[in-house]
Amino acid sequence: MMLLTNLVISQSDESTRCPFKLHCAHNKILELPTHPVPVKLIVTDIDYRLQTFYLSDPGNCLPQLLLDNNFSSSFPLRSYGTLTFEPSYFNSFFNCSSVLHLRQDNIIMHGTIDMASCPIYVADSTNENIIQSDLVYCIKLSDRSSLFSAFNIQYNHLPMTWSGTNFDIRCLKCENKTKKRITLITLTSAGESETTFVRVLNFIFIIKLKFLRILNVKFAGVIIGSTLLVLVLGAIVQVHHHFKMKGEDHKRIENFLKDYKALKPTRFSYADIKRITNKFKDKLGEGAHGAVYKGKLSSQILVGVKMLNNTEGDGKEFINEVGTMGKIHHLNVVRLLGFCADGFHRALVYDFFPNGSLQKFISMTEEGDKDSFLRWDKLQQIALGIANGIEYLHQGCDQRILHFDINPHNVLLDDNFTPKITDFGLAKLCSKNQSTISMTAARGTLGYMAPEVFSRNFGNVSYKSDIYSYGMLLLEIVGGRKNTNTTTNEENFQVLYPDWIHSLLEGGEIQIPIDDEGDFRIAKKLAIVGLWCIQWQPMHRPSMKTVMQMLQGDGDKLQVPSNPYGPTTSSNTTTNIVAPPPMNLHLEVIQEID
């Protein structure tokens, strides 16, 4: 494989009107045509499959180079048309002796930054998170539009990509004269699909030659030939339709991201995502919508990267999650650091939580090992934190946000076991004065979905549907086992949580890890609140504000609600409890409300 090393751009014969050629030498210095003098950068890495290479300043002071030279003026050389940069970032340059924190693109790096080797500090001028006290030892020099983000400039790491462009038929004259293939390339900043830097590589002409070669194949017979031709044409139509639909999805996402740009989470290229995750080396887990990987933005910043499945719908879930998360800033909701929408690659970048999800701390093993549990007072704090996050989603934003997928897997725990609600792919937004919302299909996780999400026989879908899911989560915390129907053997009935919890409160001999009287009161309070939250009729469920008040009280005055699943029978207090059939088998499908 050819190694891309020194790149020198030279103009070809003006009479042939051919594009610029690309020459290589035996070093790794790329000379960029900037004003007033060219900038020379080291090519640190090349990814030919992704058509990406990375640049850095050998003097380790890239902000100084970009401050002294202009990257946003028109390209000085011309072929057919003008080759120009299209800056999409706005950066501020400072002369600093010290900076307390680095705050770039919603990312905060703690610790004083050494400015001795390079006194120029660059920051995103549109980022409201930059605190003036951090720049107390700085003098502002200028504001510049730039092709590169402040984060990449400050860390001396510029990603560049090249992509195919249209081929000029006049350049075939060059090919005939020189007996060499003339190709075209476009070098652009990673993630910016429309900007132009240098023209090089053309795939259309090459594909055309291969297609003609296929048509010249001699078939064994007319029938076989016709059949193959129909199959080939059918495959071409299918491929064309597939990429047309994918192209429309990509366009829809790009249009959304243009409007979303002002909210300022970082947009990463797919090459960035590969670098951050070390080529997806450390997989944390996988869910219905994609896998999650551990990554590093720097030695000090760990992140979780969720790679969304390529087969997921038409991009609406990606738009939904990015659009929703960008509006949320709360202690009990996961913060979106950035995203990737590079071609058909889609990813979400979050803070990294080493404790993982709540699920692994509340699941009881078959041996009933209570050491896998958190303390009951800590579980109560977690339950209250989740309620606080849901209350913020329902009342704290300009629009009410309905999550529709509250369950232990979608609650992450930080170092202090502070709960963070995540996964907003199924969320819906509505006005606060809107009592019901429209839905075309059930959404959520089985075992946590409210009955009205399946059928309007139980009422209209509203914010009370999230409260039902939260109630099931509380019951799972108390019960210490996964909230799905399980069968122990053929002779036993399936166990359902609400019946199980009611039996617990009525004195049945059901074992859960209780150490003392105080823990028992907490468990009982969580169970009663959970049962109130899962009432069949939405109107009978409390608001999340009331739930928080119930959790903050001592619980002695709480009354056990009626069992929404009806009477239960058992031969004795230790046998399994009879449960009604699953409620999602023969229910009316919800239709759209105008």
For residue 330, the domain's CATH number is 3.30.200.20
Domain boundary among 320, 352, 384: 352
Looking at the structure, tell me whether residues 51 and 168 fall in a common domain. Answer: yes
409 domain-assigned? yes
Kindly state whether residue 207 falls inside one of the protein's structural domains: no
Task: Report the range of poorest mean pLDDT among 129-138, 267-276, 409-418, 576-585.
Answer: 576-585
Whether 179 is covered by a domain: the verdict is: yes
Average pLDDT value for the chain = 67
Q: In this predicted structure, what is the pLDDT of residue 367?
A: 41
The predicted-structure confidence for 26-75, as pLDDT tens digits, reads as follows 556 777 666 677 777 787 776 655 556 678 888 888 888 888 877 544 43
Partnered with residue 296 across adjacent β-strands are 302
Angle between helices 544-552 and 376-391 (to 10 degrees): 160
Is the predicted pLDDT of residue 191 greater than 60, yes or no? no
Judged by phi (left if over 0) then psi (alpha if -120 to 50, else beta), residue 444 lies in: left
User: b/e per residue, 346-374, with b = 16+ CB within 10 A?
Assistant: bbbbbbbbeeebbeebbebeeeeeeeebb
Confirm whether 458 is domain-assigned.
Answer: yes
CB 148, CB 88: distance < 8 Å = no
Instruction: Kindly state the DSSP code that residue 333 receives in the 8-state scheme.
Output: B
Residues 444 and 528 placed together within one structural domain of the fold? yes
For residues 382 and 426, membership in a common domain is answered with yes
Asked about 405 being catalytic, the answer comes back as yes
Residues 154 and 276: their CA atoms lie apart, in Å, by 17
In this prediction, residue 281 carries a pLDDT of: 92
The total domain count for the chain is 3
* 123 located within any domain: yes
Q: pLDDT tens digit string along 423-447?
A: 887 888 888 777 777 776 777 888 8
Q: What is the pLDDT of residue 171?
A: 39
What is the edge-to-edge ordering of all strands in the sheet holding 290-296?
266-268, 336-342, 345-351, 302-308, 290-296, 283-286
The set of long-range contacts for 129-135, using a CB threshold of 8 Å and a minimum separation of 24, is 129/103, 130/103, 131/101, 131/103, 133/100, 134/99, 134/100, 134/101, 134/103, 135/94, 135/96, 135/99
User: Last residue of a domain, which of 352, 377, 405?
Assistant: 352
Q: Cis (ω within 30 of 0) for the bond into 38? A: no
Tell whether 199 is covered by a domain: no
CA distances from 399 to 332, 444, 547, 579 (A): 18, 21, 21, 38
Strand ranges inside 361-466, DSSP E: 400-402, 411-413, 419-421, 428-430
Residue 277 has pLDDT above 90, yes or no: yes
SS3 category, 273: helix
Token pair of 31, please?
A: 């000379």
Domain boundary among 323, 352, 381: 352
In a domain, 94, yes or no: yes
Looking at the fold, whether 174 and 244 belong to one and the same domain comes out as no
Question: Is 430 in the same domain as 511?
Answer: yes
What is the pLDDT at residue 218? 42
- Output the pLDDT for position 390: 95
One domain, residues 344 and 365: no
229 with 160, same domain: the answer is: no
Residues 375 and 326 in one domain: no
Is residue 378 located within the same domain as residue 234?
no
Check whether residue 284 and residue 380 sit in a common domain: no
Examine the pLDDT at 283 and tell me if it is beyond 70: yes
- Point out the catalytic residue in the list 134, 249, 405, 423: 405
Residue 224, phi then psi, degrees to nearest 5: -60, -40
Helix, strand or coil, per DSSP, at residue 52: strand
Contact 252, 318 (CB under 8 A): no
Distance, in Å, from the CA atom of 532 to the CA atom of 525, rounded to the nearest integer, reads 11
Query: Is a pLDDT exceeding 50 seen at residue 544?
Result: yes
Give CA–CA dist 487/483, Å, rounded: 13
- pTM metric for this prediction: 0.52
Residue 478: give its domain's CATH number: 1.10.510.10
In a domain, 579, yes or no: no
pLDDT digits (tens, 9 = 90+) for 355-409: 888 988 886 544 444 555 688 899 999 999 999 999 999 988 878 888 889 999 9
Residues 164 and 306 in one domain: no
> Could you tell me if 172 and 49 lie in one domain?
yes
Q: Which residues constitute the domain of residue 548? A: 359-552
Q: Coil, strand or helix: which one is 139?
A: strand
What's the pLDDT at 214?
36
Q: In this model, does residue 145 exceed pLDDT 60?
A: yes
- Token duo for residue 570: 């058992």
